[in-house]
Amino acid sequence: MTTTEDSAVSSPPRAAIKARNLRTDNWRRGPILTVLGITVWVAYATFRVFYQGDYWVADYHYLTPFYSPCVSEGCVPESAHFGRFLPDHPLIPYAALSLPFLLAFRLTCYYYRKAYYRSFWLSPPACAVPDGHPRYTGETRFPLVLQNFHRYFFYLAFAISLVNSWDAILAFHSPDGFGIGLGNVVLLANVLLLWCYTLGCHSCRHVMGGRMRHFSKHPIRYRLWTFSSVLNARHMMWAWITLASLALTDFYVMAVAAGWITDLRFVG
Ligand code: FES
């Protein structure tokens, strides 16, 4: 039996036309913006992850998501909600337990695959534009066949989103007890957006509603699948919004922790 991937890889070549492509619109804009956006984000995230400072606001218990869970022996003890057991080393991120899986989750995400295949690998750079490489093997061989592990990274990303949610709850704190500040709004908004991205994952949608013959016999799973499908329809949007929200949340926590700004307090 021929699979979709097989047929895509072995499909007939394009029609023999002289023009490189027949597109008249500005099709380069999308790939260029994608390269710029991802490059800037990766540069910022790399700097922050290895900076190992200004990630925790002791007065209000704000912890940036880039350092969550903080499990290095170098973490401030109060910021380590799940213990400190990794060695403190400049090349080991404080959140080394979660960051590799989050990176793998995003790298293997269906949307990001499309984004970097098009923009970084030009394979192809846009619809109806020839592939930048002489041969196209799809995701049928090593290493791209490993993209299929995305379904397992989903479970890990789900667990890490729970950890981020717990951080956001613990952050309702002030030196006198309960408190609410702008940092809480930022952390909470970021967590909600992360859930929108994670629960709209194609793998999540399959977990909710896949392998069922009759939706009518599984009303709860049907509702969950419907909910996931609604989020999934905007998966690209959530992918970009969460990149921005992660960086902005981290920057806000860093700015307060470093004393550049003071947190706007509503309660406590
Ligand atoms: Fe994008 Fe799963 S498909 S997170």
Whether residue 6 is predicted with pLDDT greater than 60 in this model: the reply is no
102, 103, 107, 109: residue to mutate for ligand 1 pocket, most atoms within 8 A of CB: 109
Q: What is the dihedral of CA 55, 116, 114, 31, to 10 degrees?
A: 110
Whether residue 138 is predicted with pLDDT greater than 90 in this model: the reply is no
114, 149, 201, 208: residue to mutate for ligand 1 pocket, most atoms within 8 A of CB: 201
Share of the chain above pLDDT 90, in %: 84
111 lines ligand 1 (CB under 6 A): yes
pLDDT of residue 10: 65
The two tokens of residue 37 are 């956006």
- Give CA–CA dist 159/207, Å, rounded: 15
Q: What is the pTM for the complete model shown? A: 0.91
| Cα–Cα distances in angstroms (integers) from residue 192 to residues 20, 94, 112, 164, 245, in the given order | 44, 23, 20, 10, 10
174-198: per-residue pLDDT in tens? Answer: 999 999 999 999 999 999 999 999 9
Whether residue 3 is predicted with pLDDT greater than 70 in this model: the reply is no
* Mean pLDDT confidence for 9-23: 76
In the chain, how many H helices and how many E strands? 9, 4
To the nearest whole number, what is the mean pLDDT of the chain?
Answer: 93
Q: Which residue has the tokens 């400072």?
A: 53
pLDDT of residue 134: 80
Whether residue 5 is predicted with pLDDT greater than 60 in this model: the reply is no
201 lines ligand 1 (CB under 6 A): yes
The two tokens of residue 161 are 């989103």
The three-state secondary structure class of 93 is coil
Looking from the CA of residue 153, the nearest atom of ligand 1 is: 2
Distance 7 CA to ligand 1 centre (A): 24
156-175: per-residue pLDDT in tens? Answer: 999 999 999 999 999 999 99
